[in-house]
Amino acid sequence: DIQMTQSPSSLSASMGDRLTLTCRASQDISNSLAWFQQKPGKAPKLLLFAASRLESGVPSRFSGGGSGSDYTLTISGLQPEDFATYYCQQYSTTPYTFGQGTKVEIK
Amino acid sequence: QDQLVQSGGEVKKPGASVKVSCKSSGHTFTGYGFNWVRQAPGQGLEWMGWISAHSGDTTYEQRLQGRVTMTADTSTNTVYMELRSLRSDDTAVYYCTRDISDYWGQGTLVIVSS
């Protein structure tokens, strides 16, 4: 199975901050990576797919990058509604494994 | 409007089975595959498996092999996930998602308790 490792596990940030979350796969996943945002008690929401393609309706302050086995999610100008947990998922090879999540909290 | 609507929460005893449904609307059902993802209380997301609504082909997480069955009913645009021999660590919210998980059901809480 492909292992997905997210870092950091949690962080504290302030409104307006620029954040970069990272996701590392245990092998090359050829950009078959999605990022999700989850708020308490809610289903996750797709933010980006194919590593860098923004899902329709998602604000442009979210961006994704990377290649091979290393990927990033950047939030440029943190907004109050962005405080949540973020997960990456590889869909290169089944099982389509998730990272353990990064919780973004208010400083 | 594309939508996935799941069945209601369940409470089951250890050893029992549960079958969760996910009704799809607003798009061509057989044009998609569907995933099942679960989340134990306070934990992360776990992918359980995938089913093609067109062919019925499935692939399951190896650790669930033998306990899980996913099916698709094209007459009602509904996918199902059945989990057998339930254990306490199967307590979780179960989600269905479409393809790359651009759409999610609202989640179904399954509690396994004696």
Residue B28's pLDDT is what? 87
Residues of B in contact with A46 (CB under 8 A): 100-102
At residue A2, what is the residue type?
I
Q: What SS3 state is found at B81?
A: strand
pLDDT at A102 over 90: yes
Closest CA–CA distance from residue A93 to any residue of chain B (Å) = 11
CB B57 within 8 A of CB B72: no
- Which tops the pLDDT comparison, B26 or B82? B82
Give the one of A34, A95, A99 whose C-beta lies nearest to B100's C-beta: A34
Whether residue A36 and residue B46 make contact (CB cut-off 8 A), yes or no, is no
Percent of chain B residues topping a pLDDT of 70: 100
Residues of B in contact with A38 (CB under 8 A): 45
Compute, in degrees rounded to 10, the torsion defined by CA atoms B73, B76, B77, B80: -50
Closest CA–CA distance from residue B68 to any residue of chain A (Å) = 14
Residues of B in contact with A96 (CB under 8 A): 35, 47, 50
Closest CA–CA distance from residue A78 to any residue of chain B (Å) = 23
For the record, the structure tokens of A82 come out as 């962005």
**Each residue's pLDDT tens digit, B53-104:** 999 999 999 999 899 999 999 999 999 999 999 999 999 999 999 999 999 9
Q: Is the sign of the CA dihedral A33, A34, A39, A42 positive or negative? A: negative
